[in-house]
Amino acid sequence: MVEFRKVTQKKDIDLIASMAEIIWHEHYTPIIGKEQVLYMLKKFQSSESMMDQIKNGYSYVLIRHDEKDIGYLAYEQRKNSIFLSKIYLLKESRGKGFGKRAMDYVFEKAGELNCVSVQLTVNRFNKGSIQAYENSGFEKRGELVQDIGNGFVMDDYFMEKSV
């Protein structure tokens, strides 16, 4: 059984930070390189930065299957849309339909919040994930290059799905 648990406590956020370390190094090093992975982990996925994001309106959700933590997602409401900021599964839990379930969970949240769409950004070279988003009904709406400091940029597609 897949469960989604919204978390706010430091001990759960520490757990997400440790999953982020594993997932980001493994998945993003070939895409953006080790230096940018280290920089982005510290800036966006340290426990401290996630606690700040939660204070500023982000929801972090642990994804569990058969009582094991298999990944996490994060979103925030932006006007009448949900911005899906993070959705990450441990490698051994990918390709089994859990990502699709997680996206359905987000679409459900969007409905509860009377939002009209779910939006996200995804690295232009993160091909498998782009495919997964397209299979869940997201469409590319444009490209977005964001300066994140220290000489690094996020080179993304902006994607959206109406709900």
> Which amino acid is residue 92, in one-letter code?
E
Q: Does 132 bind ligand COA (CB under 6 A)?
A: yes
**Out of 8, 18, 135, 150, the residue judged to bind ligand COA by CB under 6 A:** 135
DSSP 81-111: EEEEEEEEE-GGGTTSSHHHHHHHHHHHHHH
How far apart are CB 153 and ligand COA at their closest, in Å? 16
* Other beta carbons within 10 Å of 68: 10
Q: What's the rounded Cα separation, in Å, for the pair 51 and 53?
A: 5
Span 1-40, contacts to ligand COA by CB under 6 A: 27
DSSP state of 62: E
Q: Which residue is nearest to ligand COA (CB)?
A: 99
- Closer of 9 and 131 to ligand COA (Cβ): 131
Give the footprint of ligand COA on this chain (CB under 6 A).
Answer: 27, 87-89, 94-100, 122, 126, 128-129, 131-132, 135
